[in-house]
Structure 1
């Protein structure tokens, strides 16, 4: 989930109690300058609407403004939805705005922002371009305690900076783990999964747990609880490896190489053997569960197509908030037709031997100080406030995110599961090439990936080998790259001109 909907989803999960708010005010009100002088703190955010910033304020600043009456908050959005929807009234495809370019304008323009809130994938570029102020000296100077921060958060931020320094902090994060059905493992006499397993070890377990035929089949695992297209699942598996589909200069495809060959052989084998369900497998499962009521109407299953809750897959990859959905389902088990409650737990997301301990960690609310900030002191005071122990206690009531401070990370509502599985993996390092930027600048570039979807299915169906599929993808993709290269030259000699006919956006295809 990206952009505006990610932010709205987080807002829907935020709840602040009056009692905790009072405690926060008491603990933090002395942190800033309480003089009568009114000052403006300008905060830059990636996405939003200038004419409707209430959801951003509720998420980040209402409490700070209440405890700092002399500070007025102003927001600026890199991508302003309230304005951009009027940019293309005829619905014509056109080059998408460069979010990073808009982000840098907020930091370097005539009226630069003081604080910037951004996603992890921009951190490396912001530090390389010297646009963020290093926070380590400020942390030391004010004795700001971050000793109880989740190591994966601090280490992930330092790793992306390139010089092992902190240029941002975040009060919350999210991550994925491997959920497993303990009942299935027990019935099969197979040992439970453990933390720090490799993908190959998990796939071996998945094969042992797969059994049955047609609509009654039990699958070893899914890459998400709903099941999905195999090629899309492959992006989850391959993302930590940093494999590229084309070279940085967009001159040739790089898919017909050993790294991709191994990925394709592994993934297509899981679908061929029905260890992971194909689209056809899922259709059979849903059809077998499509039961009629006595009056002839069809029973509406509140679980929907969730294969893990339906008891049709032994393991699945899920984010932290999925634990709450499982609990809700188990609490209402008696109301669900033909539902069989089961025991479950989680372990760390599997990783590749080449990238041990690297999984899906989402640091989407990073807060940094603009190196050109006109009001750097208040910017630091705001970051301290929103990353304080008291603020973390407030955020710990959010079922959708984890607080960055370990003290408040614990299962809620009587649940007992391995919650450390969500805090023990490292984020995927940022790639050296901004693939999303390439796709924005050259809208036709998405066409170079299109052949892979069908070719993947043909390998699964046995009509092509992996070698044949990757060779064909390479040939067809190279043709697209050549067409892009031969497009009318841009004013700058040697540069490629983005295709004028549109045809896609950065969100059109999953990018590994």
Structure 2
């Protein structure tokens, strides 16, 4: 009797709630249906077995096994058939073989190629259908993503940031009695420090500062363009890019601080490099620390007069090809990989979260050894600047600008000559690509 009374009460409440709302469409679009939008559960993953072909390149290839494990735990009915980009399985090979890709992960440098192969589609309908909240992203992420596509759509979703810091070897600074770097420095101030710690001691050449140029070209803290989107001509032979190249190359003019082939070997293994920056290599620090590296980090330096201006976002991303037969399942997997849960797991492993939630950011690097007492907050002081005009040929231009930087750094050419040659080379490559 009690059970019957309880059921009647539930029915009465349901009927009362429905009064005056018979014209509300249900999920199928018909008014007054039994699946009204207020009572129907949110759409979710199918319970049927699903196999998703997941092509990975760059960071997600490194994380492939972790991603597979997390997805199988969240969605036991989903199988990821992962294809890692490698010799014989490059995106060109996979597309040439006629393989249908459901979910794609790629580095920013390959976006033009991915777009050429028509492997991206507007994710907005799926984001709306499944309630994806873009306000969770770090400031600047969404605007930058939209700038990648001519129609301003969200056709890719980045899954981690590549925030930079300045790594430094405390032992070298201690050896020479020089004060450590600090947050908020300009490149000019770092140059002065680099001169002080570039010395020869006991037959060992200590270098003050080295960087990976291509990474900072992509970051582009000055907010400079590469290719005019209207004319599709290079826009790098100008005074602002000359200033950038000359100032960054000036580090390598310091006697004893000439460039070497691998800055990370000097910093992590030889431990003869005082300061370094480029892609975030925090995950490699614990092994070096176990071999004696006494280290810390500070905020990525900025150019004088541009303090507080963020660099360009350089983030790997997920995309769903329009040819996928499993778009909904692929998107739900993507949405899970961008959830606070997974972002926290990845953050603890040293991957900088794409979301701005403070609770997630506080977990950054906690699974790595030796992070206690380090200036981890410096990673989140590297903010995202306003996007520059984007074209499918930007990767060509960025590589050419980095080549120009290397020529100037090694005294193979002056900045004017190097940039003129870079612009000519970019335009030739663009013309060749357009002629294909």
Q: Is TM-score (shorter-chain normalized) higher than 0.5?
A: yes
Measured against aligned partners, the alpha-carbon deviations of 1:50-82 in whole angstroms (never above 9, x if no partner) come to xxxx988634335434553444545678x7843
2:240 is the counterpart of 1:266: no
2:369 is the counterpart of 1:413: yes
Decide whether aligned partners of structure 1 residues 357 and 186 sit closer, same or farther in structure 2, where only a CA change above 3 A counts.
farther
Which residue pairs with 1:23 in the alignment?
A: none
Pick from 357, 371, 376: which aligns with 2:327? Answer: 376
For residue 209 of structure 2, give the secondary structure of its aligned residue in structure 1.
Answer: coil
In structure 2, how many angstroms separate the alpha carbons of the residues matched to 1:202 and 1:67? 46
Moved more, 163-172 or 176-185: 163-172
Q: CA deviation at 1:115?
A: 3.2
Measured against aligned partners, the alpha-carbon deviations of 1:458-480 in whole angstroms (never above 9, x if no partner) come to 46xxxx8x4xx7348747986x7
Measured against aligned partners, the alpha-carbon deviations of 1:328-362 in whole angstroms (never above 9, x if no partner) come to 344344xxxxxxx64x3212222345595444864
Contact 2:227 2:394 in 1 (8 A): no
Which residue pairs with 2:296 in the alignment?
A: 345
2:277 is the counterpart of 1:317: yes
Measured against aligned partners, the alpha-carbon deviations of 1:161-197 in whole angstroms (never above 9, x if no partner) come to 5788754434444433101234555676655433343
Which residue pairs with 1:21 in the alignment?
A: none
What are the residue-to-residue correspondences of 1:15-414 with 2, within 5 Å?
A: 32-33=44-45, 35=47, 37-45=48-56, 58-65=65-72, 67-73=74-80, 81-82=87-88, 113-121=101-109, 131-135=120-124, 142=130, 149-151=137-139, 156-157=144-145, 160=148, 166-185=154-173, 191-211=179-199, 215-223=203-211, 242=224, 244=226, 255=237, 257-274=238-255, 277-278=257-258, 305-307=265-267, 310=270, 312-322=272-282, 324-333=283-292, 342=294, 344-352=295-303, 353=305, 356-359=308-311, 362-364=314-316, 366-370=317-321, 373-396=324-347, 398-399=349-350, 401-404=351-354, 405-411=360-366, 412-414=368-370
Contact 2:396 2:426 in 1 (8 A): no
TM-score, normalised by the number of residues in structure 2: 0.62
Contact 1:171 1:386 in 2 (8 A): yes
Which residue pairs with 1:90 in the alignment?
A: none
In structure 2, how many angstroms separate the alpha carbons of the residues matched to 1:202 and 1:130? 42
Contact 1:152 1:424 in 2 (8 A): no
How many residues are treated as equivalent by the alignment? 381
Q: CA deviation at 1:219?
A: 3.4
What are the residue-to-residue correspondences of 1:493-512 with 2, within 5 Å?
A: 497=435
For residue 273 of structure 2, give the secondary structure of its aligned residue in structure 1.
Answer: coil
Which residue pairs with 1:15 in the alignment?
A: none
Contact 2:396 2:429 in 1 (8 A): no
In structure 1, how many angstroms separate the alpha carbons of the residues matched to 2:236 and 2:50? 53
Which residue pairs with 1:509 in the alignment?
A: none
Q: CA deviation at 1:321?
A: 3.5
In structure 2, how many angstroms separate the alpha carbons of the residues matched to 1:357 and 1:170? 21
Decide whether aligned partners of structure 1 residues 451 and 212 sit closer, same or farther in structure 2, where only a CA change above 3 A counts.
closer
Name stretches of at least 5 consecutive residues in structure 1 with no aligned partner: 1-29, 48-53, 85-96, 225-230, 284-302, 334-340, 440-444, 499-512
For residue 277 of structure 2, give the secondary structure of its aligned residue in structure 1.
Answer: strand
Which residue pairs with 1:13 in the alignment?
A: none
For residue 163 of structure 2, give the secondary structure of its aligned residue in structure 1.
Answer: strand
Contact 2:83 2:89 in 1 (8 A): no
Contact 1:76 1:113 in 2 (8 A): no
Q: CA deviation at 1:247?
A: 11
In structure 1, how many angstroms separate the alpha carbons of the residues matched to 2:418 and 2:45? 65
In structure 2, how many angstroms separate the alpha carbons of the residues matched to 1:140 and 1:250? 34
In structure 2, how many angstroms separate the alpha carbons of the residues matched to 1:152 and 1:251? 27
For residue 197 of structure 1, give the secondary structure of its aligned residue in structure 2.
Answer: coil
Which residue pairs with 2:32 in the alignment?
A: none
In structure 1, how many angstroms separate the alpha carbons of the residues matched to 2:134 and 2:221? 30
Which residue pairs with 1:422 in the alignment?
A: 379
Which residue pairs with 1:470 in the alignment?
A: 416
In structure 1, how many angstroms separate the alpha carbons of the residues matched to 2:404 and 2:369? 47
For residue 395 of structure 1, give the secondary structure of its aligned residue in structure 2.
Answer: helix
In structure 2, how many angstroms separate the alpha carbons of the residues matched to 1:319 and 1:483? 29
Contact 2:167 2:297 in 1 (8 A): yes
Contact 1:123 1:161 in 2 (8 A): no
In structure 1, how many angstroms separate the alpha carbons of the residues matched to 2:190 and 2:74? 49
Superposed CA RMSD in Å reads 5.5
For residue 167 of structure 2, give the secondary structure of its aligned residue in structure 1.
Answer: strand
TM-score, normalised by the number of residues in structure 1: 0.54
